Amino acid sequence: MRFMMLMFPAKFYEAGTEVPDPAIFEAMNRYNEELQKAGVLLALDGLHPTKTAVRVKLDGGKKKIVDGPFTEAKEIVGGYWILQTRTREEAVEWASRVPLLPGDTVELRQIFEMSDFPADIQKMNEPLAEKLKK
């Protein structure tokens, strides 16, 4: 089972201006090393603040480009992990161990596998799945 953990930080730090306490980086590095040693980590990355982000929206039948920054911080993803675990409970256990600062939130979402879909949908996606394997 694959899961994505999404980090919703209470506060974003701009690179080169304000630096958070190095202790949070040390704690996060230790946590990420534990994930790696356990063999459950597939991918992870932090994301830049939204001042350089772009959103594409469908508005009135037309696509609209909206440049950041976006003000609603509680809805902004600061980073992610992709985990592969045997059970949902194992993924929840890993999510509960993420080092957090006050106000931070981690959301855990299971990733769809092709086998979760009906056979006709699986067949429709076979050509793309084969290309992605290469």
CATH number (domain holding residue 35): 3.30.70.1060
pLDDT above 80 for 93: yes
Strand, coil or helix: what is 84? Answer: strand
Strand, coil or helix: what is 34? Answer: helix
Q: How big is the chain, counted in residues?
A: 134
Q: Quote the domain boundaries for residue 21.
A: 2-133
Q: How many domains does the chain have?
A: 1
First and final C-alpha spacing in the chain:
22
pLDDT above 80 for 132: no
To the nearest whole percent, how much of the chain has pLDDT over 70?
92
pLDDT above 80 for 134: no
Instruction: Kindly state the average pLDDT of the residues 47-71.
Output: 89
